[in-house]
Amino acid sequence: MKRLTLFSALLLCSVMLMAQQKTEAYTFTVVKENPITSVKNQNSTGTCWCFSGLGFLESELLRQGKGTYDLSEMYTVRKNYEDKAKKYTRLHGSLNFGPGGSFADVIESIDDYGLVPNSVYTGLNYGSETHNHSEMDKALSGYIKGIAESNSLTTAWFNGFSGILDAYLGNTPDTFTYEGKQYTPQSFAKMLGLNQNDYVSITSFTHHPFYTKFAIEVPDNWRWANSYNLPLDELIETIDNAINNGYTVAWASDVSEAGFSREGIAIVPDENAPENAGSDQAKWLGLSPREKTNALRDKIGKEMLKEKTVTQETRQEAFDNFQTTDDHGMQIYGIAKDQNGNKYYMVKNSWGETGPYKGIWYVSEAFVRYKTLSAVVNKKALPASVSKKLGL
């Protein structure tokens, strides 16, 4: 009887686990999966770029056998807010100012500001156990816009700006103790062995020459950081090469599309494919494009839908007409296939352990081709042919 009870319990656990690993329509098999740290929750903040950027660096440390680290997002967020405020005033307000950013804000600030553990600086200095920047963002924006409109600046303006950050996030540490040793933020980053020059940002657009670098023209790229421009197939080749060789990828994308579902699936459904219409073809033909999009949104994760074929031209058109915008930063860490053999990327999000995959998304190759703004990889993860063309 005890053996039967144990078997029944194990069977029930197995069934529950299988239910967690698939939606109604999809069953995924892992092809390649690289180590990641735990799924975090940015909660009510616009700081996905930092959560995913630091998650990428934490995976770099895992890959190098240095153990598991939980790095402070809010320390990096604060330092970038300070840099952004200085640049905003120098440009007399002609710069995007807000909580958004790019992976360059994480990578390119390592040498200047270092890193600290999350246990040292949580940034929760306002009576909350979860991150909520709605009030702080309004205070910072109102303050800095008023300063930028001034006819002249005093020496006190930056202290006032820093005072708001102190009030909400807390004072940043000059030194701290971690696992019995004392560090500065810079010496901690050096101890970790993270070097900002080890990483490169890549993209794929035709309004700039391939194999050159340019600053992607989106508001959150306030640093005007450069990305190397690759043909679309080589962008995908680079992401695949990184994953298959044990690296992860920091991935900037547009998640405003109907195809990015809260069900943990992201695809590019083809609203013109007859097989996506269902049994009532006549009714489908009578729907407006918006109605078709909404109908397909409801089907994602519940039915297998035919996807659009994404080309360099369709990708460029979506960027040119503002259909593709810089919405969200995540981390690609693996490759999987569905039951029909279609390729998906395994993506770590920063919205907490939500959805059927507990904070993980399965993103089709078509979606990555269509909606990637940029990706950051370790230079060693570049295919040799790509590295040669870029002169790296």
- In 10 A of CB 371, how many CB atoms? 28
Q: What is the pLDDT of residue 169?
A: 98
In contact, 262 and 23? CB cutoff 8 Å: no
What mean pLDDT comes out for the span 241-247? 98
Q: What are phi and psi of 121, to 5 degrees?
A: -140, 95
With bands split at pLDDT 50, 70 and 90, how would you rate the model's confidence at 287? confident
Domain extents for the chain? 24-268+307-390
The string of pLDDT tens digits covering residues 41-81 is 999 999 999 999 999 999 999 999 999 999 999 999 999 99
User: d(Cα 191, Cα 46) in Å, to the nearest integer?
Assistant: 29
Q: Where are the beta strands (DSSP E) in 90-236?
A: 176-178, 181-183, 199-203, 213-215, 226-229
Residue 14 has pLDDT above 80, yes or no: no
How many Cα atoms within 13 Å fall on the side-chain side of residue 316?
Answer: 12
Does residue 7 carry a pLDDT above 50? Answer: no
Q: How many CA atoms lie within 13 A of 361 on its CB side?
A: 28
Cα 84 to Cα 143: distance, rounded to the nearest angstrom: 13
Question: What pLDDT shows up at residue 4?
Answer: 37
- pLDDT, tens only, 344-391: 999 999 999 999 999 999 999 999 999 999 999 999 999 999 999 999
Q: For position 20, what pLDDT does the model report? A: 40
pTM: 0.91
Q: Token pair 């920063």 is at which residue?
A: 350
Half-sphere exposure of 77 (CA within 13 A, CB side): 32
319-352 residue pLDDT tens: 999 999 988 999 999 999 999 999 999 999 999 9
Rg (CA), the chain: 23
Q: Tens of pLDDT along 158-171? A: 999 999 999 999 99
pLDDT for 282: 67
Tens-digit pLDDT profile for residues 192-222: 999 999 999 999 999 999 999 999 999 999 9
CATH 3.40.50.1820 corresponds to the domain 24-268+307-390: no
DSSP 154: -
**pLDDT recorded at residue 24:** 62
The per-residue pLDDT for range 79-127, each reduced to its tens digit, is 999 999 999 999 999 999 999 999 999 999 999 999 999 999 999 999 9
* Token couple for 391: 């002169």
**Angle, helices 157-169/73-90, rounded to nearest 10 degrees:** 160
Judged against a pLDDT cut of 50, whether residue 8 lies above it is answered with: no
Are the C-beta atoms of residues 99 and 45 closer than 8 Å to each other? yes
Q: What percent of the chain has pLDDT over 90?
A: 81
3-state secondary structure of 268: coil
296-to-74, 104, 281 alpha-carbon distances in Å = 37, 35, 14
pLDDT of 246-272, one tens digit each? 999 999 999 988 899 988 999 999 888
* 276 vs 279, residue with greater confidence: 276
Question: Per-residue pLDDT averaged across 13-26, rounded?
Answer: 50
